[in-house]
Amino acid sequence: MYGLSLDDPFFWDTVQLASKQAHYFYQSAHNNLALETTINSGHIPAFGWYLSNIWTLFGKTLMVSHLSIFPFLLIYIVCVFLISKHLFEGVWVWIAYMLLLYEPCFVAQSNLVSPDVVLIAMVALSFYGLLRKKMLLVSVAAVFLTLISMRGIMFVAVLFLVMFWQHKPSFKFKDILVSLKWFVPSILVFSSYYVFHYIQEGWVFYHEASPWAESFKLVDIKGIVKNGGLVVWRFLDFGKWPIFCLLPFFMLSVKEKNESVILVFRCLVLSILIIVGITVFYKGLTAHRYFMPIYFFAILLFISYLQELSLKYVYKISIAVLALISFASGHFWKYPEHVAQGWDATLAYKDHIEGMDKLKEYLADHTIELSEVGCYFPFLASQEMIYLNGEEKSLAKMDLQHQNYALYSNICNDISDEETQALKTHWLPIFSYSKRAVLLTLYQRN
């Protein structure tokens, strides 16, 4: 699928995390290290800087943008194969390999120009380093993880704690230093950038005026419970349910665990404790892609236990095939219109590309300007930011009191039920596109 996505536009958070950040550095001739406030989401903007340099070298096109993530896809593919060969034997090598490559969220992100491809590639590289006791690989991966996002920084903490855990039961200060020395480069990168950022901007990670401030608001006990439920949903969603539903039973059934399985288990537990343990306290940090390291280790642990189960071989293979079929089905899951869906977590989003092309043809044929049409994220950025076509025009944020045209799409999770009902009741549909999970309808005021 990656080869078929090279002309796909930027979508969802990649508009901001890739396109807008890369444009900022590209247009400023790389004279700035920190982003302007409107696009500064608190991460070290290394991916935007990287993409802007790729544009400078090879041209600012969608194909070049997609090809920029190929080196990291290759790292992931190679590391997953080597990890599977190290952990498993025979057919289980290929089953693990396919499950890790075809996990729906990874497939979706690999078709986007996404920094999360870099993140999961470095997760795989660092874990391979841990497996083979090649600590230089862990150290290098930790630097990249620090550069790519705050979730990458969280996983660096996971790596440190996993290494520290290996020294139990002593837990002596010298054990901390032994583990810590491999993270000195990433600590220097982290501290250098955020000290510089604080001096220049007066804040780190997020601030009250940030466009993403709402997502970083702390929630109460009720909100924590709700977020916990959302996280469980993310684990089961889009075909991952066999992994997370069956894994606890497998763990109870298999008693003997080798050193490698214990390492996978520790990585999974610490990833859950740190990534989930931090994100559930905030209002809007439960997107599917945030938990990709957890999916990675859950799949590895699932196969580790499945191959050791006291079941007939044919039953075990059937369970593995069920998981693969379930993963494939995830790209066709469709929720009711009033349920927000993780559109960057499966390939279902791809149908919107054709729909938006047809919509723009309709608008052009009827001399309706994009700016006359109201809608919501992820369609609000300029055409240049989405398609790299040089056009600065964009759709407008929906305001049903003052606009004559409104675009409804189930991809827009921010549209309220009241607005949806108002459109269906009082407005006239003049254009509609529906394909598999994607729906777009253009309404005109009656």
Which tens digits make up the pLDDT trace of 129-168?
Answer: 999 999 999 999 999 999 999 999 999 999 999 988 876 6
Q: Which two tokens stand for residue 385?
A: 């930011």
User: Tell me, what amino acid is at 66?
Assistant: H
The per-residue pLDDT for 197 is 86
Residue 348's pLDDT band (cuts 50, 70, 90): very high
pLDDT of 360 above 60:
yes
Distance CA 348, CA 410 (A): 12
Residue 36's pLDDT band (cuts 50, 70, 90): confident
pLDDT of 326 above 70:
yes
Q: What is the pLDDT of residues 64-103, one digit of tens each?
A: 999 999 999 999 999 999 999 999 999 999 999 999 999 9
The per-residue pLDDT for 446 is 86
The β-bridge relationship of strands 373-375 and 396-397 is parallel
Tell me the percentage of the chain whose pLDDT exceeds 70.
97
Beta bridge partners of 348: none
Distance CA 220, CA 222 (A): 5
What lies within 8 Å, CB to CB, of 429 at 6+ separation is 441, 442, 443
pLDDT of 2 above 80:
no
Collapsing DSSP to helix, strand or coil, 88 comes out as coil
Q: What is the pLDDT of residues 269-323, one digit of tens each?
A: 999 999 999 999 998 899 999 999 999 999 999 999 999 998 999 999 999 999 9
439 DSSP assignment: E
What lies within 8 Å, CB to CB, of 273 at 6+ separation is none
What residue has token string 């050193």?
259
Query: How deeply is 159 buried, as exposed, middle or buried, from its count of CB atoms within 10 A (0-12, 13-18, 19+)?
Result: buried
The per-residue pLDDT for 383 is 97
Distance CA 446, CA 428 (A): 6
pLDDT of 358 above 80:
yes
Sign of CA dihedral 419, 424, 429, 431: positive
Distance CA 77, CA 74 (A): 5
The per-residue pLDDT for 433 is 97
Q: Are 198 and 206 in contact (CB under 8 A)?
A: no
Q: Which of 197, 154, 200 is nearest to 42 (CA)?
A: 197
Q: Are 310 and 392 in contact (CB under 8 A)?
A: no
Tell me the percentage of the chain whose pLDDT exceeds 90.
80
Cis peptide before 169 (omega within 30 of 0): yes
Kindly state the average pLDDT of the residues 33-48. Answer: 87
Distance CA 205, CA 151 (A): 11
Q: What is the pLDDT of residues 235-263, one digit of tens each?
A: 999 999 999 999 999 998 887 778 889 99
Kindly state the average pLDDT of the residues 187-210. Answer: 86
What residue has token string 């497939």?
107
Q: Are 30 and 52 in contact (CB under 8 A)?
A: yes
Half-sphere exposure of 307 (CA within 13 A, CB side): 19
Average pLDDT, the chain: 93
Residue 200's pLDDT band (cuts 50, 70, 90): confident
Q: Which two tokens stand for residue 331?
A: 């790209």
The per-residue pLDDT for 30 is 66
DSSP character string of 24-49? HHHHTTT--SS--GGG--SS-THHHH
Report CA 80 to chain centroid distance, whole Å. Answer: 18
pTM of the model: 0.94
The per-residue pLDDT for 206 is 79
Q: What is the pLDDT of residues 382-431, one digit of tens each?
A: 999 999 999 999 999 999 999 999 999 999 999 999 999 999 999 999 99
What lies within 8 Å, CB to CB, of 201 at 6+ separation is 34, 37, 40, 207
Sign of CA dihedral 334, 335, 338, 343: negative
pLDDT of 371 above 80:
yes
Q: Which of 232, 241, 246, 436 is nearest to 326 (CA)?
A: 241
Residue 169's pLDDT band (cuts 50, 70, 90): low
CA 178, 181, 183 angle in degrees (round to 5)? 125
Q: Which of 406, 434, 435 is nearest to 419 (CA)?
A: 406
Q: Which two tokens stand for residue 281?
A: 């306290």
Distance CA 5, CA 169 (A): 50
The per-residue pLDDT for 427 is 96
Mark 352-389 as b/e (b = at least 16 C-beta within 10 Å): bbebbeebeeebeeeebebeebbbbbbbbbbbbbbbbe
Is residue 430 within a helix (H) or strand (E), and if so which, with residue range? strand 427-435
The per-residue pLDDT for 246 is 96
The per-residue pLDDT for 380 is 94
